[in-house]
A and B are shown apart, each in its own frame.
Chain A
Amino acid sequence: MEQPLIQAIDLKKYFRTRKGNLHAVDHVNFTIMKGKTLGVVGESGCGKSTLGRLVLRLLKATGGQVLFEGKDIFAYSDEEMLGIRKQMQIIFQDPYSSLNPRMTVSEIISDPIRVCGTLKTKKEIDDRVYELMDVVGLAERFVNTYPHELDGGRRQRIGIARALALDPRFIVCDEPVSALDVSIQAQILNLMMDLQEDLGLTYMFITHNLSVVKHISNEIMVMYLGQCVERASSAELFSTPLHPYTRALLNAIPLPNLKSREMAQIIRGEVTSPINPEPGCRFYSRCPAAKTGCTGEDIPLKEVSDGHYVACTLYR
């Protein structure tokens, strides 16, 4: 039987700005089953990275709960949190700025081990570092090099090794391949899928690139201005996208073949301000199917078919 590992309930994060409350994440709910991957997709500013940080309690939520194996992690004390953190790790987007330039590869990978004190002797730690480097496909000769000596793909492998150092069960992957070239991207994605199979990891995979997320996710959540507008299994979302925004997003991807050469319908306008948004659909101003009922009150997510949720007045 599938068991939930991570559950987010009515999660909210507002940032206070001079102009008012910026609704970065607004009433978001989701569940990630053990060993599965949830893809979180959206354009810049939709709150996907903030959501990732909230789930790990790297940011303090304005409201809501995050349950890890059924227990609310916001209720833990800082010491208790350290224990939980061993099981929840993150891989960052930019392999250039997320590694300390003054630490060697071995120091970076062993840093979490030393912080949490899971291994004591130098021999044990060194052995573990070599083991991790082997797992992520880094040659042993790089053990004493510094990040600047390595290329982007190898640096991202260091980031992955560091995230794996404490044998976590859950990893938030925040755009782990968007800074890499396509040929290297495919290498890293394959590595992450292999690791998931071998170690039974659970992923929350954050990206702006729908084509990347299709391959790795079981379920995909599409976000727009802090809200989840559609959630469905990966296959379902790509075969029958329902929300106009999801459709626009799928349409906007330039495909590498000549069949789609004619420009598909392009959505107009740009993302509106997330500061003190009016109640109602936040995609309203750009939506080709907008009508009067779309404003005035928030549109809740509705299950339209088994496991397929959408927040749109078209499917009421």
Chain B
Amino acid sequence: MTEKLLEIKNLHVIYETDEGTVYAVNGLNLTMNKGETLGLVGETGAGKTTTALSIMKLLPEKVGVMKSDCLTFGSYDIGGASKEQMRLLRGKEISMIFQDPMTSLNPVITVGDQIAEVLEFHYIDKAKASISGRVDEILELVGLSPERKTDYPHQFSGGMKQRVVIAMALACEPKLLLADEPTTALDVTIQAQVLDMMKKLKEKLHTSMLLITHDLGVVAKTCDRVAIMYAGEVIEMGTVEQIFEGDNHHPYTVGLFGSIPDLTKIERRLKPIEGLMPDPTKLHRGCPFYARCPERLEICETKKPGESPADSHMIKCHLYTKTEGQLQEGMQ
């Protein structure tokens, strides 16, 4: 039986900057079940990281404003949680791995102390010795020798630093791990090692993972379900089989797959998606992909497409929302 772990309905995030309002996330719906790995895929500026930061409630103060109809994590209501409540959740129940391992570690604190920090915060009553033991244990889990806990981040290579970051994130065995491009900064052979390790650890610790990436290859290797984002919305969501092997797709998904050089075929030219991402400082009335879409209809310019079908394989495109009820949803 699948149990919902994370549910987001109609999430909007705007950034109020000096240059104007940036509409980063526009009505995003997302659900995650317990134990699954959900891949959140999109290009730069699609709002992937903003979505993760919203779940953690770590948006920049005053600048980032979020509102949603529903943002729940297990039995917690994140949307309405106070700062203090969030502080207790972060690191213990939900933790996050940031993209760049080179900058997400403190250069003047040993890695052992950095891992211990999260444990000390969440288990105040624990004795020093047991925390130290746990640090050793978690380092071993991510494939590092416990003897290296007295070393500083600069003494580690990129791949090892990312292992340290993962160790920190998993120290309290969180229920949900938000991994923001965890392997983008790494070389392919190291990426393969880290992905393999994350997959094994996830199973061992029964953690659910939201994997943010722009690499569809990484998604194919690790995820159970996939959500594809474009201009702050999830435009297609389904199981990996539906996304990678299904016949029906959002035109953007088709374009995304077409842009990847195929190693198995010999073809001279690639098929890019023409044009650029829409300007996030302007709100669009219709479909955000309208300007670049090869299959656009008249309706797409003025009306936002609804989600169809809403449950298993969702595609947010007028090509697939021809039934009455869903058309009405699209008109709202």
Contact = CB atoms under 8 A, between A and B. Distances in A.
Interface of A: 43-44, 151-153, 181-187, 189-190, 193, 208, 210-212, 214-215, 235, 238, 248-249, 251-258, 260-261, 263-264, 266-268, 270-271
B152 interface: no
B68 interface: no
Contacts of A261: 220-221
Nearest to B274: A187
A252 B191 contact: yes
A152 B44 contact: yes
B187 interface: yes
**Is chain B's binding surface mostly helix, strand, loop or mixed?**
helix
B217 interface: yes
Most buried by B among A43, A181, A249, A251: A181
Contacts of A235: 266
B195 interface: yes
A186 B257 CA distance: 11
Contacts of B157: 270-271
B263 A253 contact: yes
Nearest to A267: B189
Interface stretch (B21-29, B117-125, B164-172, B240-248): B240-248
B268 A257 contact: no
A182 B256 contact: yes
B112 to A, nearest CB: 21
A165 to B, nearest CB: 24
Interface residues of B, number: 49
A185 B43 CA distance: 11
A44 B187 contact: yes
24 contacts: A151-B276, A181-B43, A181-B214, A182-B43, A182-B259, A182-B260, A183-B43, A183-B256, A183-B259, A190-B270, A208-B187, A211-B260, A211-B262, A214-B263, A215-B270, A254-B217, A255-B263, A255-B264, A256-B244, A256-B260, A258-B245, A261-B220, A263-B199, A266-B192
Contact of A256 (B257, B273, B277): B257
Given A151-B276, A212-B261, A190 B188 contact: no
Nearest to B159: A270
Most buried by A among B188, B244, B262, B268: B188
Contact of B188 (A183, A208, A214, A238): A208
Most buried by A among B241, B256, B258, B260: B260
A258 B261 CA distance: 16
Given A187-B272, A249-B189, A182 B244 contact: no
Nearest to B261: A211
Interface in B57-92: none
Interface string B266-291: 11111111101100000000000000
B102 to A, nearest CB: 12
Contact of B269 (A183, A190, A266): A190
Give the 8 A-B CB pairs with smallest separation, nearest first.
A254-B217, A186-B272, A186-B270, A43-B187, A256-B216, A181-B43, A186-B259, A252-B192
Contacts of A186: 258-261, 270-273
Contact of A214 (B214, B219, B261, B277): B261
